[in-house]
Structure 1
């Protein structure tokens, strides 16, 4: 029976450790790629408020103004970035032609913390930061007089 055990690999043998390291490394790299994918598909934002306005700053690296669409409905704000890519390779001598077209989108929907005015908002893109400013809506409280009868 001792002969049988001599042919079995030791579980803590160097080859086993190397195999475990390789498998571990594979999963570490795979998870990094998944994290990178999800980070690329979201838009990081910060919301600031003052007494008179609400300011949203969105970090949009390497984005041009014409790629951005901003929509607001009630207190919901949607920032969407669309990237179109067209690549064409043509080689008449090799009788080769390849054309690829892709569209990628990322968006972020925010709930604004306070009611904002329907008009007079502004947006600007400077140094990879989209800044959107909304004036706060002035809440009007109707005072009702109570008559003595």
Structure 2
């Protein structure tokens, strides 16, 4: 009987140890996953700052690796969408082995800035210099008023 009670006493300890190993393993897995997700998001986005100076809103996007031809700025109502597209084509040819390999990769990074007013396309200016995209638009105040209730 003493052998059985000794095993009974060890069982909760074994179960507890196994549970802690599982929890540590899951914790390690999720920590690595979150770190990798953070690294992925950091690589596929870019910093954007927003300032209000007098009657103007100034948006600056830091795009040090981009060419002007890769940048697209789109106005959609009260949103400004900034997109950077990078396409790379790699070709390898071996006449000796009669082989040809072509690979194309495309990376798109984009950010959308929302303002509390409709953005005027004709009054908005964009300038790209030294890896910084600067967008300036006049600040507008939304029309507000009261309506009659019938």
Please report the TM-score for the alignment, with normalisation by the length of structure 2: 0.68
User: Counterpart of 1:41?
Assistant: 44
Listed as ranges, the gaps of 5+ residues in structure 1 are: 2-23, 143-149
CA contact (8 A) 2:50 2:57 kept: yes
2:65 is the alignment partner of 1:62: yes
SS in 1 for 2:45: coil
SS in 1 for 2:122: coil
Aligned pair in 2 of structure 1 residues 139, 111: CA closer, same or farther (>3 Å)?
A: closer
In structure 2, distance between residues paired with 1:138 and 1:27: 45
In structure 2, distance between residues paired with 1:109 and 1:57: 12
SS in 2 for 1:39: helix
CA contact (8 A) 1:54 1:116 kept: no
Superposed CA deviations along residues 74-93 of structure 1, whole A, max 9, x for unmatched, are 21110011111100000101
Paired residue total: 134
Aligned pair in 2 of structure 1 residues 96, 31: CA closer, same or farther (>3 Å)?
A: farther
* Deviation of the 1:136 alpha carbon: 2.1
2:140 is the alignment partner of 1:137: yes
Aligned alpha-carbon RMSD (Å): 3.4
Structure 1 residue corresponding to 2:78, chosen from 50, 75, 80: 75
Write 1 or 2 for the structure with the bigger share of helix: 2
2:111 is the alignment partner of 1:99: no
CA contact (8 A) 1:123 1:132 kept: yes
CA contact (8 A) 2:46 2:62 kept: yes
* Deviation of the 1:114 alpha carbon: 4.5
Listed as ranges, the gaps of 5+ residues in structure 2 are: 4-26, 146-150
User: Counterpart of 1:86?
Assistant: 89
User: Counterpart of 1:123?
Assistant: 126
